[in-house]
């Protein structure tokens, strides 16, 4: 119930294209869904996050789409650039209540390569 499943494992996109990464969860108590970006040799860093009271959040070229009934959420990167090449992780946590509140659980990660 604590798992977050992420797909695809790797993704190759041409510059200017749209990158889409998907995640699914089981625990309906999750109420915070961040996406992290990781460059080689660095720790993950927060990219964008959403709470389940909204279905979409957009920050620049990055958009999270959230489907509460399907227990799925996705990251869309518009106009993908070579500088976006990195590993992307979705995550989920419960902000309040339960024995695991605050625990941040990550998906397996997606290696994105954007070709020039």
Partner 1 sequence: DAGVIQSPRHEVTEMGQEVTLRCKPISGHNSLFWYRQTMMRGLELLIYFNNNVPIDDSGMPEDRFSAKMPNASFSTLKIQPSEPRDSAVYFCASRRGQGYTEAFFGQGTRLTVV
| Binding status of residue 105 toward partner 1 by CB under 8 A | yes
DSSP structure string for 87-105: EEEEEEB-SSSSTTTT--E
CB of 28 to partner 1, least distance (A): 17
Show contacts with partner 1 in window 50-79 (CB under 8 A). Answer: 51
**Gap between the Cα atoms of 86 and 42, Å rounded:** 10
Q: From the CA atom positions of the chain, what is the Rg in Å? A: 14
| Binding status of residue 115 toward partner 1 by CB under 8 A | no
Give the distance from CA 18 to its chain's centroid: 15
Choice from 15, 58, 68, 103 touching partner 1 (CB under 8 A): 103
CB of 56 to partner 1, least distance (A): 17
């Amino acid at each position: 119930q604590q798992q977050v499943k992420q797909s695809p494992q790797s993704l190759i996109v041409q510059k200017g294209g749209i990158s889409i990464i998907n995640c699914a969860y089981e625990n309906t108590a999750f109420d915070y869904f961040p996406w992290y970006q990781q460059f080689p040799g660095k720790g993950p860093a927060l990219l964008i996050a959403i709470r389940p009271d909204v279905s979409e959040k957009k920050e620049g070229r990055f958009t999270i789409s959230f489907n509460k009934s399907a227990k799925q959420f996705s990251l869309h990167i518009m106009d993908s650039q070579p500088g976006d090449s990195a590993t992307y992780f979705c995550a989920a946590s419960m902000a309040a209540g339960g024995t695991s509140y605050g625990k941040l659980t990550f998906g397996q990660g997606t290696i994105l390569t954007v070709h020039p």
